[in-house]
Structure 1
Amino acid sequence: MSKSFTEQLSLINASTENRNRMRDFVLQNPEFLDDLITFGTDLTNKNHHKGVWIIEMLAEHQTELLAPFVDKICQTISNYKNDSAIRGISRVAYFLGISKNINLTESQHEKLVEICLDWLIRDERVACKVYAMKTLHHFGKKEPWIAEEVKDIVSRDYAYQSAGYKAAAREVLGKSK
């Protein structure tokens, strides 16, 4: 790993300017993509969430760049504990799940479904639950059992959740009809 690149990642803060700068750097220097993924999936690194921020931005703008790293992401995805990393990685899961440019293997698909269901059931922050719900809704279009599971979980938890969760739930449940 490039020491200077990982030092830059360790020093960034959550400002949009910093995150955009690092995203643009990786887009202009794709040889650092492997270092970024290694940094963001190294859960022993106290700053791994900062790598996830950039991975999330790449997933949103050029998901196909992550194709060679989907296995590594899927192997790590259920082990994140940092709230900031979980929020970001839930968006990565969403973008991987809806991407037309990435064909998930059966194993990758199963890992994403499993973690999204876990996030939806567990006591996670709203943003994570919303992205899990949206990812599962997408998968549920082809697999009715997933759509039914999401409907059951969301309907059961609806009354106890925040306004943001309820808005996303109405959207997802409305699209399911």
Structure 2
Amino acid sequence: MTFFNRISKSSASTNSRNGNRDFVLQNPEYIKDLAAFATDLTNKNHYKAVWIIEMLAETHPELLIPFIDSICGIAAQYKHESAIRGISRTILFLSTSKKISLTENQQEKFIETSLDRLIGVDKIAPKVFAMYALSHFAKTQDWIKEELQIIINKDFANQSAGYKAAAREVLRKINR
């Protein structure tokens, strides 16, 4: 079975996603193909590759360093709900990783994408991940604090309990 078939036939089950992640970790020569698969929006299964990218970003972000520019370039264009959730977590993990350093341009792209997710019509999870990523960037870029406060306060009353809990935590962090 080819690597692309392996991803295409995978499911959202934990075992399936973990199996693909472990396969890539044991065969790092496939990371380039994985990144190409995940950033190819014409491929109907791109979101399945995003799942693996997300898992790698969480535990082995250094493996993604050569592909961060590609991820930055495509992150805002995802439309599939599962890809949006996965790329939002990927941005959070890459932004907060102590193992890698994002360039100024990469940070700007991730900030822009996170702001778009936060104010957009996405589901709650991508909004929460965007909030957390932005609160991290706010440590070095003061203007983000004000933007976050405005957006969160504007949306707060109409959001879910999960969003509100995350929003309170983010507001506490940025107001320290």
Tell me whether the two structures share a fold, i.e. TM-score over 0.5: yes
1:75 equivalent in alignment to 2:73: yes
Shift of 1:174: 1.4
CA offset digits 1:103-156 (Å, max 9, x no partner): 111111111000100000001110000000000000001111011101110011
Output the CA distance in 2 between the equivalents of 1:101 and 1:17.
26
Number of aligned residue pairs: give it: 175
After superposition, the C-alpha distances for 1:56-85 in whole angstroms (9 at most, x for unaligned) are 001111111111110010011111000000
1:76 and 1:143 map into 2 onto residues whose CA distance is 23
State the TM-score, normalizing by the size of structure 1.
0.97
Task: Give 1:132-147 correspondences, 5 Å limit.
Answer: 132-147=130-145
Provide the C-alpha distance between the structure 2 equivalents of 1:94 and 1:157, rounded to a whole number of angstroms. 21
Specify which of 97, 107, 120 is matched with residue 99 of structure 1: 97
1:99 and 1:27 map into 2 onto residues whose CA distance is: 18
Instruction: For 2:141 and 2:30, locate their aligned partners in 1 and report how far apart those are by CA, in whole Å.
Output: 36
**1:129 partner letter:** K
Is residue 2:70 matched to residue 1:40? Answer: no
- Alignment of 1:5 onto 2:3: yes
- RMSD (Å), alpha carbons: 0.9
Following the alignment from structure 2 to structure 1, what is the Cα–Cα distance between the partners of residues 124 and 115? 14
CA distance in 2, matches of 1:135, 1:48: 23
Alignment partners' CA distance in 2, 1:108 and 1:141: 16
State the Cα deviation string for residues 16-67 of structure 1 (Å, max 9, x = none).
0000000000001100000101001100000000000000001111111111
Q: Which runs of no fewer than 5 residues in structure 2 stay unpaired? A: none
Report % sequence identity. 58
Report the CA distance between 1:176 and its aligned residue. 1.9
Give 3-state SS (helix, strand or coil) of 2:171's partner: helix
Q: How does 1:10-159 map to 2 (within 5 A)?
A: 10-159=8-157
The 4+ residue runs of structure 1 with deviation greater than 3 A are none
Equivalent residue letter for 2:17: R
Unaligned segments of structure 1, at least 5 residues: none
Q: Distance in 2 between matches of 1:148 and 1:62?
A: 32
